[in-house]
Structure 1
Amino acid sequence: MRTPMHNDNPEYRVAYTSISGRLYAGFVRRDNGKWQGQPHDVTDQAMLAVGLRLSREGNDILFPFPDDRWLRISAFYCDAEGAEVSDEQV
């Protein structure tokens, strides 16, 4: 029997929470937007994956906002002091 709380089709989502400053991934109910089960902290894995992609491709990613501002994300390889190094040195 289907009830208003029945949810056959949860959506997999990655979300940022400003309370903890972390990224979480898991299934979210489409009917109310609440996590279904326990979300997993994927902050370190997600940030590393994005950083590796950007640094290897040598591209920035631009995300537009409705108020005509943009968010630019870029990454590069560096040494322990933060000085940029080529990816051949890594």
Structure 2
Amino acid sequence: MSDAFDYFRAYAVRALCKARSMPKGRMKHLQLVVGRIYNLLKKEAAYGPNTQHLEDFRAAQRLERSLDSRPNDPADRARFAATNPNRAEQEVR
């Protein structure tokens, strides 16, 4: 992976642009964290070739994919909350 710096930079830019377009909240914060992780990996890759950061990169990708699969629509959140009767009862109060 000779051009890891460029790859990590592209992932960081994409993640941070995606975070800027999101509304305020927890999901935006987590997307910013993903972008920061990519930036740290980019800086680490700039110092020299290192395959140890690949595990961190894969973990950041898994986190970003999990953010994409979470429901952002309040109607979806209510539907998921309704599957747990105790939680739905707490939200109604």
TM, length-normalised to structure 1: 0.27
Q: Which has the larger radius of gyration?
A: 1
As a proportion of its length, which structure holds more helix? 2
As a proportion of its length, which structure holds more strand? 1
